[in-house]
Amino acid sequence: MLIAVTSGKGGVGKTHFSVNMSLLLSKRFETVLVDADTGLGNVDLVLGKKFEVNLIDVFVSDLPLKKLLPQYEDLWVVPAPSGVVELADLSNREKRVLETFLNGLDSEFDVVVLDTAAGIHSAVRFFLEKADKIVLVVVPDPASLNDAMGLIMSSSASEFYLVVNRCLSHKEAKMVHNLLIDWVKYTDKVVHFLGWLPEDPKLREAVFSRKPVVEYAPDSRFSSLLSNIVSKLVNLKGDGDERGVEKLSDVLYKG
């Protein structure tokens, strides 16, 4: 199953969410995290580890993916070639190469997490088109919600799964969700509520320690609520890849 994690606005904690969610998924499933911010990727910074291999190396190598890709604990990682401007807006040829690559990942791994760039440029829309599920990360801020709405309306996708980050409470998160529902009610778009995450000081400590928070503070409120989101996500049934979702559920319940 391909899960794209995106946001309309930058700086909302999307990459921290992607990294920590992927680490939790990797404890139960064969998971690969793709830094799909092909212009300015920073998954490696959040993981606190420098990787020698990046997306460009993967394209030119003949090695099997699981032999080529670096790992962080149980998680496979495809780091982005940060600063490669020509990849920020993909050509048709680059899209075909990336599509073949993503299909290969999808056949090799149980879960593929795509951490996209913020915004609505062509590379972001491409990755959203290929995803089975789209997780939209926002914060309770007018600029974030306005940009998220722009992303929703510019995408060909019709379903989005909302995570409200840096939130005070479940009640505040639901207010944000209800606002987006009101905005899209006369369109073909659907925004599902997936969960919310708090402004947790443990996350800040983890950032400065250059460690993912689910490892730095696994008992923190952030880690606990993120675990709930992951459990909900892997059990979703929808119009996406039913085969992939059922495969995940089968693995989940074998434990």
Whether 68 is in a domain gets the answer: yes
User: What pLDDT, on a 0 to 100 scale, did the predictor assign at position 243?
Assistant: 36
The CATH number covering residue 78 comes to: 3.40.50.300
Segments forming the whole domain that contains residue 107: 2-239
Whether 254 is in a domain gets the answer: no
User: What pLDDT, on a 0 to 100 scale, did the predictor assign at position 244?
Assistant: 40
Nearest-angstrom CA–CA distance, 190 and 213: 30
Nearest-angstrom CA–CA distance, 189 and 192: 10
Whether 253 is in a domain gets the answer: no
User: What pLDDT, on a 0 to 100 scale, did the predictor assign at position 122?
Assistant: 84
Whether 95 is in a domain gets the answer: yes
pLDDT tens series, the chain, 255 aa:
999 999 989 899 999 999 999 999 999 999 999 998 866 778 988 999 888 887 777 777 777 788 889 999 999 999 887 655 555 567 788 788 889 889 999 999 999 999 998 888 888 999 999 999 999 999 999 999 999 999 999 999 999 999 999 999 999 999 999 999 999 999 999 999 999 999 999 999 999 999 999 999 999 999 999 999 999 998 864 433 333 444 444 444 333
CA 171 to chain centre: 24
Determine how β-strand 31-36 pairs with β-strand 111-116: parallel
Whether 244 is in a domain gets the answer: no
Whether 248 is in a domain gets the answer: no
DSSP the chain: -EEEEE-SSSSSSHHHHHHHHHHHHHTTS-EEEEEE-SSS--HHHHHT---S--HHHHHH--S-HHHHS-EETTEEEE---TT-GGGTS--HHHHHHHHHHHHHHHHH-SEEEEEEPSS-SHHHHHHHHH-SEEEEEE-SSHHHHHHHHHHHHHSS--EEEEEEEEES-HHHHHHHHHHHHHHHTTSS-EEEEEEEEE--HHHHHHHHTTS-HHHH-TTSHHHHHHHHHHHHHHT--SSS-HHHHHHHHHHHHH-
What single letter denotes the amino acid at residue 97?
V
User: What pLDDT, on a 0 to 100 scale, did the predictor assign at position 80?
Assistant: 82
Count of the separate structural domains present in the chain: 1
CA 106 to chain centre: 15
Whether 128 is in a domain gets the answer: yes
Whether 23 is in a domain gets the answer: yes
